[in-house]
Structure 1
Amino acid sequence: MSKNLLNNKTGQPKLKTLYSYIEMNLDGDLSLSYLAVEFNFSKYHLQRQFNAYFGISIFSFVKALRFKRATYQLAFRNNIKIIDIAFEAGYESSESFSRAFKEAFNFSPREFRKNPPDSFWETNFSQLNQLRKKSMQTEFLISNVEIVEFHETRVAVLEHKGSPALVARSIQKFIAWRKENRLPPSKSNTFNFVYDDPRTTNPDDYRFDLACSVAKKIEEGSTGIINKIIPQGRCALLRVIGADAQLGVAIEFLYSNWLEQSDEKLRDFPLFFHRVSFFPDVTENEMVTDIYLPIER
């Protein structure tokens, strides 16, 4: 039986593999006994080393991941019934799920679905976000970037202006509009236009567009959804596989390391994301985001 889960031939922590395994198998058996057998390790040492490296017990980690997924499903996937969310979170009934949810967040699942509080995820899952930094990709290579020709794309856009903490409200509004207009992600590509760095921009001045591709101009009205076009042109493309926490690192890499070494010049259009797949439809470490940096010919 292995003596130290933190060491292997490559020098990379095997605990990162365990982290990914747990995240990829949230619907399965993630008991300490099962994981110890799966990873050929004693329960005692598995728990001790996981706790030492990540600062959280395996039980608490699994519970937090399941709760985070449940909150996203409640807030952004109104088509999923609460009883089904409860089952996916490992509870045998909606009643037991509701009790646990209210104990954790002071809201019932129904209350939360109706009106998720601002800054909820930053407040309640900050520890998970810190843990993710220990397991995510933090370095990118020049060879990871390719130059592509992006074809003109008409998009319907909801412009978010204001604190990043309020983006969830805009996402809910945009999802509702897409459902009403029958533009699900399976039929309409999802984009974001990134104007500002939330770390350095005054919250009131922060801008972030939510967009989806459309075949023709939409009727602009009281919904606040407007027409825009992503112009055709050359772009530097960097694909990021994993959670949104990696995007800041990837953007910094493009603007500093890659741009400096490439001698390319920027076009007058903001950096944008194509959301190929996103949470909670896939796990956070399975998310795929293509980052496009528009450059001159």
Structure 2
Amino acid sequence: MTKMALENYQARMRRVLDHIDRHLDENLSLDILSGVAAFSKHHFHRQFAATFGVSAHRYVQLARMKRASYRLAFRHDANVTEIALDAGYEAPDAFARAFRECVGQAPSAFRKSPDWESWLAALEPLDRVRSAKMTYSSNDVTVREFPATPVAILTHRGDPARVYETVRRFIDWRRAAGLGREIAATFTIFPCDPRTTPPEEFRLDLCAATNRPIEANALGVTAGLLPGGRCAVLRVIGSSENLEQPALFLYRDWLPASGEEPRDFPLFCQRIGFYPDAPEHETITDLFLPII
């Protein structure tokens, strides 16, 4: 296969993934998806599985369950019946069975107390496919001045698999403090590399921009500052949960070739477009590498 033919083939398969993200609550049958790819339906299911390591049917199911799990865990404005209908199930009981088989918990139990480790394991095939789509070049990186930004910070310490527990607590605190994401910009600071840091020593800082004084609280939210200065910025379009590949690109590829020197402040990101409010392939995250 020539390079041009291979790129065309890959583009057709990526078009299928984007279509699935955009139409999760619609008919995503084999006929529909093979038509989007412009492949014969008799071969499409094998081509999809060979390309991504998971069947098209399973991929669609996992994508729907992921969106449903986000709504259960982080959104309080929809009940289980509404979430079931959005996931393509006509009855809550059928959705509950499918959700339990996929995630290991009933929807109501997940909403109350998610088992994040089982959730991550269940959705690993989906994350693997999405991460494989991420490729970058030096043209994707811009250098700009970042303004000093006061923030409220909640630090997660310990196993990265449990970071969503801290995210839930921080979201609840932000709502109570009147600092929802529609009001206050959302940042995450990455002081350590999860690939090389023992789970018990892992740390991650969740931040919301604010000039307000932070009142004493049982959760441990404190005032902090994102320092101003020059930053290399890489915009990540798509899944923002696993930023390992774009971070590696900045440190391993872009930085040595740029001639720039890193500043004494960790990599951080600003989350601009949020999933599941937007389809996952349309979410936006700006990744900042502070430089001198």
TM-score with structure 1 length normalisation? 0.90
- Pairing partner for 2:231 from 228, 235, 251: 235
Retained in 1: the 8 A contact 2:153–2:206?
A: yes
Post-superposition CA distance 1:12-66 (Å, at most 9, x none)? 4221211221122111111122334444443212223223322333222211110
- Alignment partner of 1:215 is 2:211: yes
Query: Percent of counterpart pairs with the same letter?
Result: 39
Q: Which residue of 2 is the match for residue 282 of structure 1?
A: 278
AA at the equivalent of 1:151: P
Q: Which residue of 1 is the match for residue 159 of structure 2?
A: 163
Higher mean C-alpha displacement, 197-206 vs 79-88: 79-88
Higher mean C-alpha displacement, 180-189 vs 203-212: 180-189
Q: 1:31 to 1:162 in 2, by over 3 A?
A: same
Retained in 2: the 8 A contact 1:242–1:284?
A: yes
Q: 1:235 to 1:52 in 2, by over 3 A?
A: closer
Distance 2:229 2:214 in 1: 24
Q: How does 1:109-258 map to 2 (within 5 A)?
A: 109-134=107-132, 136-138=133-135, 140-244=136-240, 247-258=243-254
Retained in 2: the 8 A contact 1:240–1:246?
A: no
Distance 2:244 2:6 in 1: 30
Distance 1:70 1:127 in 2: 17
TM-score with structure 2 length normalisation? 0.92
Higher mean C-alpha displacement, 229-238 vs 204-213: 229-238
Q: 1:152 to 1:31 in 2, by over 3 A?
A: same
Distance 1:82 1:211 in 2: 29
- Alignment partner of 1:89 is 2:108: no
Distance 1:212 1:56 in 2: 37
- Alignment partner of 1:20 is 2:18: yes
Retained in 2: the 8 A contact 1:148–1:235?
A: yes
The number of residue pairs the alignment matches comes to: 290
Retained in 2: the 8 A contact 1:191–1:273?
A: yes
- Cα offset for 1:10? 4.0
Retained in 1: the 8 A contact 2:189–2:266?
A: yes
- Pairing partner for 2:44 from 39, 43, 46: 46
Distance 1:104 1:137 in 2: 26
- Pairing partner for 1:58 from 43, 56, 59: 56
AA at the equivalent of 1:45: H
Q: 1:10 to 1:57 in 2, by over 3 A?
A: closer
Distance 2:192 2:231 in 1: 19
Distance 1:98 1:10 in 2: 40
Q: Which residue of 2 is the match for residue 77 of structure 1?
A: 75
- Aligned Cα root-mean-square deviation (Å): 2.1
AA at the equivalent of 1:273: C
Retained in 1: the 8 A contact 2:31–2:41?
A: yes
Distance 1:284 1:22 in 2: 10
AA at the equivalent of 1:137: M
Retained in 2: the 8 A contact 1:146–1:238?
A: yes
AA at the equivalent of 1:243: S
AA at the equivalent of 2:31: S
AA at the equivalent of 1:170: T
Q: SS state of the match for residue 119, structure 1? A: helix
AA at the equivalent of 1:276: I
Instruction: Return 5+ residue gaps in structure 2 as ranges.
Output: none
Retained in 2: the 8 A contact 1:30–1:62?
A: yes
Retained in 1: the 8 A contact 2:157–2:202?
A: yes
Q: SS state of the match for residue 193, structure 2? A: coil
AA at the equivalent of 1:219: E
- Cα offset for 1:214? 1.1
Distance 1:99 1:11 in 2: 39
Q: 1:11 to 1:272 in 2, by over 3 A?
A: same
Q: 1:9 to 1:187 in 2, by over 3 A?
A: same
Distance 2:154 2:38 in 1: 50
- Cα offset for 1:88? 0.9
